[in-house]
Chain A
Amino acid sequence: ETGVTQSPTHLIKTRGQQVTLRCSSQSGHNTVSWYQQALGQGPQFIFQYYREEENGRGNFPPRFSGLQFPNYSSELNVNALELDDSALYLCASSSGPEYYEQYFGPGTRLTVT
């Protein structure tokens, strides 16, 4: 059974640029949730995708957008990067939006300068 993978591991971008982060869900999982984790804080829910549709969103501006593909992998896109976007971005997959256990990937560390 393949776990959740994310790419890239680290990324450095300049303010105003755009970034795409990728997540491959665990085998058999059709739901992916994205979280932003600032240093020393708990993860904050960005949005969730279930069967290629957005299925809920946290308090993040529209410049945070996402996609889920037919194989249930997912992308997180962030436009017009701001310094405060520097964080660890985690994705988590589960067997459904109502299924309880989430399995997290190792994260992508984004630094905006």
Chain B
Amino acid sequence: QQPVQSPQAVILREGEDAVINCSSSKALYSVHWYRQKHGEAPVFLMILLKGGEQKGHEKISASFNEKKQQSSLYLTASQLSYSGTYFCGTSTTGTASKLTFGTGTRLQVTL
């Protein structure tokens, strides 16, 4: 089943913060975050694994609540380059490449 993302869309002014949430009804092994700009490929941001391991870009932070099967992506001091659609992808097994993606959160950062 597809993870649910919220909000569906958000508009920020440059420098503001945002939180994007991802929730699953299944027990998760990992949560992956990607950003996709219009007409471009999704770009890897962060992986969060069951057990607490994380790997990703230094300027991105995220959390994974294993009990609630929820993850949140924290975007602080947003820049214009943060604009795009953010997807969470979830894996219920250790084969982390087979991801089920949410419907996305569209983020627009303005001046």
B34 to chain A, nearest CB (A): 8
Most A Cβ at <10 Å: residue of B30, B55, B96, B103: B96
With beta carbons under 8 angstroms apart, the residue of B42, B97, B101 that contacts A31 is B97
B92 to chain A, nearest CB (A): 12
Number of cross-chain contacts by CB at 8 Å:
68
Number of interface residues of B (CB under 8 A): 25
Q: Are B55 and A45 in contact (CB under 8 A)?
A: no
Q: Are B41 and A100 in contact (CB under 8 A)?
A: no
Q: Are B47 and A41 in contact (CB under 8 A)?
A: no
With beta carbons under 8 angstroms apart, the residue of A4, A41, A44, A48 that contacts B97 is A48
What is A's interface to B at a CB cutoff of 8 Å? 4, 31, 33, 35, 40-45, 48, 55-56, 58, 90, 92, 94, 97-107
New A-B pairs, 15, CB < 8 Å, besides A45-B99, A97-B95, A104-B43: A33-B97, A33-B99, A35-B101, A41-B104, A42-B103, A43-B89, A43-B99, A43-B101, A45-B98, A98-B95, A99-B97, A100-B32, A101-B47, A106-B40, A107-B41
